[in-house]
């Protein structure tokens, strides 16, 4: 639940950005500046904070390892099939 409390404000800011662009509250240059700040500074801080303040069970690492192996296998198979 703590992760949702951290990430929901980010999505709220994205929604505000969408609405402000749609109704021309900001210029395209301002939009690019806000987007750059949001994705290069704010979002990594939010993700870092969510990861290091949440309780991660040791069994979750096994799931992450399986997902990583499956992704690597899919990547290799895709590379082999694309040749």
pTM score of the predicted model: 0.46
User: In the predicted model, is pLDDT for residue 13 greater than 90?
Assistant: no
- DSSP structural state of residue 24: T
User: In the predicted model, is pLDDT for residue 78 greater than 90?
Assistant: yes
HEC readout, 30-48 = HHHHHHHHHHHHHHHHHHH
User: In the predicted model, is pLDDT for residue 31 greater than 90?
Assistant: no
Question: How does pLDDT run across 36-64, given as a tens digit for each residue?
Answer: 998 999 999 998 998 888 887 888 889 98
Cα gap 51→61, rounded to integer Å: 13
Instruction: Give the confidence band of 30 by pLDDT, cuts at 50, 70, 90.
Output: confident
Contact 31, 17 (CB under 8 A): yes
């Amino acid at each position: 639940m703590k992760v949702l409390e951290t990430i929901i404000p980010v999505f709220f800011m994205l929604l505000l950005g969408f609405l402000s662009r749609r109704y021309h509250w900001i210029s395209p240059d301002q939009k690019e500046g806000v987007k750059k700040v949001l994705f290069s500074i704010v979002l990594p801080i939010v993700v870092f904070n969510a990861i290091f303040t949440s309780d991660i069970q040791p069994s979750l690492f096994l799931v992450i390892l399986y997902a990583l192996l499956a992704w690597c296998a899919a990547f290799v198979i895709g590379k082999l099939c694309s040749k």
